[in-house]
């Protein structure tokens, strides 16, 4: 009985991590102006303000700035797709415990699963690029990215658990 | 219930993500609010700087501030601490809404006296130390060239209730419609002599 519900627990944890990952700060921008940083911090504190952005905030900000296409792409791959994946996985787990065939649905998740970590790659790339710019501005990876990545990892482990048990 | 059971695989993940997201978002905004309203520390040294003052369009007798030329008041602010005036702002002429910058340099004074200006000198603010049962008095005046300056309004703020950053301390029912003070630590201002010479 205990093992029957373990995949549901993983799904719940994955869903909670996804919710947290979308709203917790994904990255923090710490502005730097080289040797003039303290002066600018004093005279123009707004320019030196440390700002944090979550994935959800990024989608809204891009939309408000009129970058609709980019906003929709990020919303599709960062919000809609992970939630859709969770819904499909939930259905797969239901079918699995009812001893029905779930492999058809799992195939779609496996095909599109490679896009799941896109956000993490983009943020890692941003950190590297910004680090190379003059002035010392930094981007720090936030807890949102970690929560999001953990959620994605769990959604990769759940199908593995189902298929490996099935083989046994 | 049958309908809901059939749709559990859609509803439960969506509800889970939305509820967790809302909870985390509200916790985050609560933490940000706490940071923004952080109070000063007892015994700490701080700058208290008036950054914005807005007054009513007419004085307490419902007359124009300057009846000679129908202009607005010439506003300036004084801060009193421990019974003594510790700061006087520059005068903003003909203003119902006056703003003071983070830094001010009296170029004429420097040129005439030949004095040097340090980083601390250009900060137009009162310097106070926070003590229990202490307070500061912020007074807004209309500079009168011919007669005595008229006090438009004043505000008594217990020192321990000063908040770090820029905040509105407006008192209801006063001719001073808005009074924004900026409070920051005396030790937060960079000492450029500590920097390596370029």
For residues A134-145, give the mean pLDDT.
Answer: 84
Q: Which residue has the higher pLDDT, A19 or A107?
A: A19
Q: Which residues of chain B have pLDDT under 50?
A: 1, 193-198
- Lowest-pLDDT range, A92-96, A147-151, B47-51, B65-69? B65-69
Chain A partners of B198 at a C-beta cutoff of 8 Å? 35
Q: How confident is the model at residue A12 (pLDDT cuts 50, 70, 90)?
A: very high
Give yes or no for a contact between B46 and B185, defined as CB atoms under 8 angstroms apart.
yes
Whole-angstrom Cα distance, residue B144 to residue B150? 7
- β-partners of residue B45 are B129
pLDDT at residue A44 is higher than 90:
no
Question: Can you give the pLDDT at residue B138?
Answer: 94
Q: What is the mean pLDDT of residues A67-82?
A: 88
- The predicted-structure confidence for A110-134, as pLDDT tens digits, reads as follows 777 777 777 777 777 777 777 777 7
Least confident of A50-54, A75-79, A132-136, B15-19: A132-136
In the DSSP assignment, the letter for residue B149 is: P
Give the 3-state secondary structure of A96-116.
HHCCCCCHHHHHHHHHHHHHC
Residue B197 has a pLDDT of: 42
Residues from chain A that touch B35, judged by Cβ atoms under 8 A, are: none
Contact A20 B14 (CB under 8 A): no
Q: Complex ipTM, two decimals?
A: 0.78
Mean pLDDT of the region A2-30? 85
Task: Please check the confidence at residue A99 and state whether its pLDDT lies above 90.
Answer: no
Strand partners, B185: B46
Task: Give me the residue from B16, B102, B195 closest to A16, CB to CB.
Answer: B16
Spatial distance between the Cα atoms of B68 and B152, rounded to a whole number of angstroms: 18
Distance CA(B100)–CA(B172), nearest Å, equals: 22
Beta bridge partners of A69: none
CA-closest candidate to residue B103, choices B79, B123, B85 = B123
Whole-angstrom distance, CA of residue A126 vs CA of residue A49: 19
User: Nearest CA to B44 among B157, B160, B133, B138?
Assistant: B160
**If you measure CA to CA, which chain B residue comes closest to A88?**
B9
pLDDT per position as a tens digit, A32-42 = 888 777 777 76
Written as six digits, the tokens of B103 are: 């830094």
The phi and psi torsions of B125 (rounded to 5 degrees) equal -155, 160
Residue B190, chain A, CB below 8 Å: the answer is: yes
Distance of alpha carbon A46 from alpha carbon A24, whole angstroms:
22
**Band of pLDDT at residue A162, cut at 50, 70 and 90:** confident
Whether A168 shows a pLDDT value over 70: the answer reads no
Asked whether the whole model's pTM tops 0.90, one would answer no
Q: How many other CB atoms are found less than 10 A from the CB of residue B146?
A: 5
Chain-chain contact of B190 with A90 (C-beta, under 8 angstroms): no
Mean pLDDT of all residues in chain A?
Answer: 82
**Extended strands (E) in B6-149:** 45-55, 75-81, 84-88, 97-99, 126-129, 135-142
Nearest to B190 among A38, A88, A91 (CB): A38
- Tell me which residue in B18, B103, B192 faces A19 most closely, judged by beta carbons: B18
For residue B79, list its beta bridge partners: B87, B138
């Amino acid at each position: 009985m205990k093992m029957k519900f373990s995949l549901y627990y993983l799904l719940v944890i994955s869903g909670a991590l996804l919710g947290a990952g979308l709203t917790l700060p994904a990255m923090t921008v710490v502005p730097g102006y080289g040797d003039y940083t303290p002066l600018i911090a004093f005279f123009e504190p707004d320019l030196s303000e440390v700002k944090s952005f979550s994935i959800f905030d990024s989608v809204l900000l891009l939309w408000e700035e009129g970058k609709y296409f980019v906003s929709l792409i990020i919303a599709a791959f960062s919000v809609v797709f992970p939630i859709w994946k969770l819904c499909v996985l939930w259905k797969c787990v239901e079918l699995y415990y009812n001893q029905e065939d779930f492999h058809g649905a799992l195939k779609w998740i496996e095909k599109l699963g490679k896009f799941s970590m896109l956000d993490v790659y983009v943020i890692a790339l941003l950190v590297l690029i910004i680090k190379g710019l003059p002035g010392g501005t930094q981007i720090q990876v936030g807890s949102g990215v970690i929560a999001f990545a953990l959620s994605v990892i769990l959604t990769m482990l759940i199908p593995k658990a189902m298929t490996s048990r099935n083989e046994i | 219930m049958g309908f809901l059971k059939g749709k559990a695989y859609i509803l439960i993940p969506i509800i889970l993500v939305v509820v967790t997201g809302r909870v985390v978002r509200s916790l985050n905004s609560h933490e940000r609010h706490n940071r923004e309203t952080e109070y000063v520390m007892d015994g700490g040294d701080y700058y208290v700087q008036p950054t914005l003052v807005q007054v009513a369009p007419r004085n307490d007798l419902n007359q124009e501030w300057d009846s000679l030329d129908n202009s607005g008041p010439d506003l300036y602010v004084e801060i009193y601490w421990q019974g003594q005036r510790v700061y006087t702002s520059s005068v903003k002429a003909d203003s119902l809404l006056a703003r003071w910058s983070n830094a001010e340099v009296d170029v004429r004074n420097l040129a005439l006296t030949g004095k040097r200006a340090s980083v601390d000198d250009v900060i137009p603010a009162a310097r106070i130390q926070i003590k229990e049962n202490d307070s500061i008095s912020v007074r807004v005046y209309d500079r009168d060239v011919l007669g005595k300056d008229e006090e438009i309004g004043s505000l008594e703020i217990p020192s321990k209730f000063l908040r770090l950053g820029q905040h509105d301390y407006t008192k209801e029912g006063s001719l001073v419609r808005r009074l924004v003070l900026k409070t920051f630590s005396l030790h937060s201002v960079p000492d450029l002599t500590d920097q390596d010479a370029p």
